[in-house]
Structure 1
Amino acid sequence: MTSHRTLRRSLTTAAIAALTLSGFLSSATAQPDGVDDRPNIVLILADDLDATTTPVWAAMPRTAQLIRDRGMEFRDSFAPLPICCASRASLLTGEYGHNTGVLTNSGEVGGFETFRANGNEQHTIATYLQDAGYRTGMAGKYLNGLEDDPGHLPPGWDDWNAGVDNFLYTGYNYTLNENGAMVKYGVAPADYETDVIRDKSAEFITAAAASGEPFFWYAASTAPHFPIPPAPRHLTQTVPTAAPRSPNYQEADVSDKPSWLVDTASVRYATIAATNDPDYTNRLGALKALDDMVAGIVDTLARTGELDNTYLLFTSDNGYSLGAHRLTQKMAPYEESLRVPLAIAGPGISAGATDAMALTIDLAPTILSWAGLPVPEAMDGRSLVRPLAGDGTGWRTDFTAEYGGPGADGRNGIAQEQVPGRTPPMYAIDMPSWSAVRTERYLYVRWYERERPLGEREYELYDLDSDPYQLTNLIKTPDGRAEHAATVAALDARLAALHACTGTSCR
């Protein structure tokens, strides 16, 4: 099937670009015969999918074939705010957490209510694109805390299908706010959440293609976030599988780690021994349906004639520890939490891979660039258009990362992601606040950022060239601190500068 836009094209893209650059046409109106030929954009977001331990592309072979192999893989892609709400807030706005004000899932520095109260909903990918004439839509997970205001309809979205309770994580028995109507899904195979999002993706893309409008679609399944199971059709294909045992798995000696980890090391070890392999098995099974969803989206784009004019992005909101350093979940400043898969395919992007350091905050400016829109000065991220073309000249070599912690009562962090009746002990899964700077060589972390005065905080330094699994904290001892004093001073200054940055000064 050929789209209306494909049938009516009479002016080449190159000619339009030339007229636009000459000032004869604006980027928003440079279309021949009233046809809007701007590219479509489809963003597919996994939930808690790491790029360090999980074999993402082997587990999702069609996603690898349809997006990674057709486009550019970013091998150094990071989520600077490695917990769901904070990361998604940064994805939507293109801003670091210290500028959105969202550093965790709830409380004064986290959650949907903080995101809204700080005015972030007025300047998201969706609002910019809708104002520019794009048809916008989403299905799946929005921001933690939306369950407290389930009827809310954020600005910028023409088609809104957001989960409004934590049963979304189970794949069944959840409720979606579908453009203001609360729709309850049950336990039938057809209710499986990732498949519902796949079907809603097909409906939106088909309708948008028929309208002739360029579109932006955001598909946000909770797979493979605990405790979503495999889809029914994949249950027999999902066999018990042990999580990979990397060198930092159940790290034997954590005496050089911050005190919160030292104090809880035994219970964390026991928790991982009991839960990690079943969790990993479920994750691999849930990725099969996510792979199906990606294939379904690409198939719909092809059937409607829109595939060649659509940018496809596949990534995750944050990583996942999978037993590294005796940790479950995410939130940590370590590689397993920070590193996420990122592959982008679309018009003009050649197949390949790059080591350019990409961040979650880069997605919004990249999407606006594709739409022909200026990148707002308030955005902290950089458009990935240059690295996508193979040009890494002058690209970033560091970034800041942070986490707001679980709050004084332990309820502001990972507890906000728990399904009712399944909440594990908080001490086993959450951790204090921190801030960090990650360079090409070093990770420097400052712990208890919100809990303690500066003089009582704890610190870590890792040389990633010689210690990629972050087993040896170089500044745990007095001798280590003395030996690396100059490096720490430089990194501490850089951390201070990045924490004060806004907009263009962050780039």
Structure 2
Amino acid sequence: METTAMKTKSLLVGLHVLVIFSGCLQAQTPTSDSPIRNVLWIIADDLNNTLGCYGDTLAKTPHIDALAKRGARFDKAYCTFPLCGPSRNSILTGLYPNSTGIQQNSQIFRQTIPKQQSMPQCFRLKGYHASRIGKLYHYNVPNSVGTNGHDDPGSWELEINPAGVDRLIEQPSIRSLVPNQFGATLSWLSSDHPESRHTDAIQAEDAKWVLERYAKYPNQPFFLAVGFFRPHTPYVAPKAYFELHDPKKMRVVHDIATDREDIPRAALASGKKEQDQMDEITTREALQAYYASVSFMDAQVGKIIDTLDALGLADSTAIVFTSDHGYHLGEHGLWQKMSLFEQSARVPLLLVLPGTTIPGSVVQTPVSHVDLFPTLCEATGTKPPSNLQGQSLVSICRDPSQVGRGWALTQVTRGGNKDKRFFGYSIRTERYRYTQWDSGQQGVELYDHKSDPMELNNLAMVETKELSETKDGLKQLLHQAIESSFPADGKTPEVGPMNWAPNLTDHD
């Protein structure tokens, strides 16, 4: 039953956005000859590559699979840091975490580099109307659902923060490995409530509402970002999506002890001991719940794309679909994120750039989240900030055989506070993954994806002439990549107090 509080909240949000649209959405003169006038950015939370278009035979994701057929699918796309806050700040500034200074959750780049233009802010300054629905910057999920979270007001004209039954009603019914803990603990619920009352479904409906109003102003370019909360824990989805996935068919990882014998201790760090003790039945239920949440999120993506098509906006809109980072489902005995293995660092990435991407194309060269900001700027003819650290992917979209930079860098921290903290850095080329922990002092890893796509055989200690040459080359490449991830002065900015003052000046 919908509560009075829920109705009041919905009414207030509706009135708020109506006022904003009435005052801000006015016809603008196009500033570019590009056929792409608008940007639709869709990001999932804690989504790995459990998608049909990435070859997962258990996935039920028809809408994302259909989107992949419309544009380019990047097979080797990687986050810069496998944790929500650092990754999202990196994506939205086009800078590596060593340059944003954001290397943990509950922080935002305005505390370190307050004058930096965010991606949506850059488009705002060029005449775009920028809207956000849901989670783009970091949120504490589920407790911050329905709020602005750790958002950046300077990035948007319009912010919509719905909260559905999964946040407002169902939490007492959620099964959790640790009672009353949901956000960072494996937890799930097969919901009896109608799909339309769940947060992500409300967001899809909100996106339809926003797009319908954008369609009334054809000369006003827009940047619409939709951040879905699923499949982040708690894995809550309507029962129908659970019924799509048979727990008996879930893939459970075995022989973990043998796999871990040649892996450095730092690579296996996990503070989630409750996950290490799951029996096989519980593991299958958790896997079913994750896949169900992915399918539920997929359905919401389909609703937004259908709206874009119905309104005649698809031919003039760049579409991005990605996740903030990957996600472990038991590989190497790990769950969730914060590792440098493929499952944690790799992300899905689909780009649909009308007139540029080849429908159904697959890009094999490694790319990074920091590449998205310059890509959208080039695709729309928008001038980017001068200090972006990624490469534009537009030419690769035109010719998927191009190599571009040829590598992707991911980093993570270990050791807790500053005095004991050290970094792990991993570089991914088309064939290899090479990882150093604490500059190699606490371990080195080398995996050959040509013969070992699951990264089960660490070759770092194997001595052959060919491997020695490979390791030396990758070590040099890794150090060059790390150096390039810092700002021009070589110093990671310090995190200061909150600075919410939006930067709305034309800052280059």
TM-score interval for Structure 1 and Structure 2 normalised by the shorter chain: 0.7 to 0.9
Q: Structure 2 unaligned runs (5+)? A: 1-28, 173-190, 491-508
**8 Å contact 2:32–2:382 — kept in the other structure?**
no
Amino acid at match of 2:366: M
The CA deviation at 1:96 is 1.4
TM-score by length of 1: 0.74
Identity %: 26
Instruction: List aligned pairs for 1:197-208, cutoff 5 A.
Output: 197-208=203-214
1:500 corresponds to which of 478, 483, 498: 483
2:447 maps to 462
Please state if 1:138 is matched with 2:132: yes
1:160 maps to 159
Deviations along 1:43-90, whole A, 9 cap, x unmatched? Answer: 11111221268856842112212x111111112222232221122111
2:426 corresponds to which of 418, 436, 440: 436
2:341 maps to 334
The CA deviation at 1:233 is 4.9
Q: Distance in 1 between matches of 2:261 and 2:344?
A: 21
Amino acid at match of 1:331: M
**8 Å contact 1:461–1:475 — kept in the other structure?**
yes
The CA deviation at 1:37 is 6.8
Amino acid at match of 1:211: Y
Instruction: List aligned pairs for 1:358-369, cutoff 5 A.
Output: 358-369=367-378
Q: Distance in 1 between matches of 2:334 and 2:169?
A: 22
**8 Å contact 1:227–1:279 — kept in the other structure?**
no
1:222 corresponds to which of 208, 215, 229: 229
The CA deviation at 1:463 is 2.3
Cα separation, partners in 2 of 1:152 and 1:97, compared to 1, 3 Å:
closer
Cα separation, partners in 2 of 1:275 and 1:137, compared to 1, 3 Å:
farther
Q: Distance in 1 between matches of 2:486 and 2:150?
A: 32
**8 Å contact 2:368–2:409 — kept in the other structure?**
no
Amino acid at match of 2:369: T
1:291 maps to 298
Structure 1 residue matching 2:73: 3-state secondary structure: strand
1:254 corresponds to which of 243, 248, 260: 260
Cα separation, partners in 2 of 1:51 and 1:251, compared to 1, 3 Å:
farther
Cα separation, partners in 2 of 1:432 and 1:253, compared to 1, 3 Å:
farther
Amino acid at match of 2:87: S
1:402 maps to 411
Which stretch shifts more, 333-342 or 153-162?
153-162
Q: Distance in 2 between matches of 1:370 and 1:224?
A: 30
Q: Distance in 2 between matches of 1:100 and 1:161?
A: 26
Structure 2 residue matching 1:296: 3-state secondary structure: helix
1:128 maps to 122
Deviations along 1:95-128, whole A, 9 cap, x unmatched? Answer: 11111122332xxxxx324x22112674111110
**8 Å contact 1:168–1:222 — kept in the other structure?**
no
Q: Distance in 2 between matches of 1:386 and 1:151?
A: 34
Instruction: List aligned pairs for 1:268-279, cutoff 5 A.
Output: 269-271=276-278, 273=280, 275-279=282-286
Q: How many residue pairs end up in the alignment?
A: 428
Q: Distance in 1 between matches of 2:429 and 2:343?
A: 16
1:194 maps to 200
2:12 maps to none
**8 Å contact 1:445–1:459 — kept in the other structure?**
yes
**8 Å contact 1:169–1:225 — kept in the other structure?**
no
1:314 corresponds to which of 321, 333, 339: 321
**8 Å contact 1:42–1:216 — kept in the other structure?**
yes
Amino acid at match of 2:126: A
Please state if 1:45 is matched with 2:43: yes
2:436 maps to 446
TM-score by length of 2: 0.74
Structure 1 residue matching 2:133: 3-state secondary structure: strand
The CA deviation at 1:187 is 10
The CA deviation at 1:92 is 0.6
Q: Distance in 1 between matches of 2:123 and 2:255?
A: 43
**8 Å contact 1:386–1:392 — kept in the other structure?**
no
Q: Distance in 2 between matches of 1:400 and 1:80?
A: 6
Amino acid at match of 2:61: M
**8 Å contact 1:28–1:132 — kept in the other structure?**
no
Q: Distance in 1 between matches of 2:279 and 2:388?
A: 38
Please state if 1:59 is matched with 2:63: no
The CA deviation at 1:319 is 1.1
Please state if 1:209 is matched with 2:215: yes
- Greater relative contact order structure (CA < 8 Å, 6+ sep): 2
Q: Distance in 1 between matches of 2:243 and 2:268?
A: 40
Q: Distance in 2 between matches of 1:194 and 1:215?
A: 21
Please state if 1:490 is matched with 2:464: no
Deviations along 1:268-290, whole A, 9 cap, x unmatched? Answer: 65347464322221122122322
Q: Distance in 2 between matches of 1:290 and 1:228?
A: 11
**8 Å contact 2:148–2:161 — kept in the other structure?**
no
The CA deviation at 1:372 is 0.7
Q: Distance in 2 between matches of 1:121 and 1:142?
A: 19
Deviations along 1:360-381, whole A, 9 cap, x unmatched? Answer: 1111111111221133331111
The CA deviation at 1:458 is 1.7
Please state if 1:112 is matched with 2:107: yes
The CA deviation at 1:162 is 4.5
Cα separation, partners in 2 of 1:375 and 1:171, compared to 1, 3 Å:
farther
Q: Distance in 1 between matches of 2:119 and 2:235?
A: 28
The CA deviation at 1:482 is 9.0
Amino acid at match of 1:76: K
2:386 maps to 377
1:390 maps to 399
Structure 2 residue matching 1:344: 3-state secondary structure: strand
The CA deviation at 1:297 is 1.0
Cα separation, partners in 2 of 1:119 and 1:455, compared to 1, 3 Å:
closer
Amino acid at match of 2:387: A
Q: Structure 1 unaligned runs (5+)? A: 1-26, 106-110, 174-185, 410-430
**8 Å contact 2:71–2:353 — kept in the other structure?**
yes
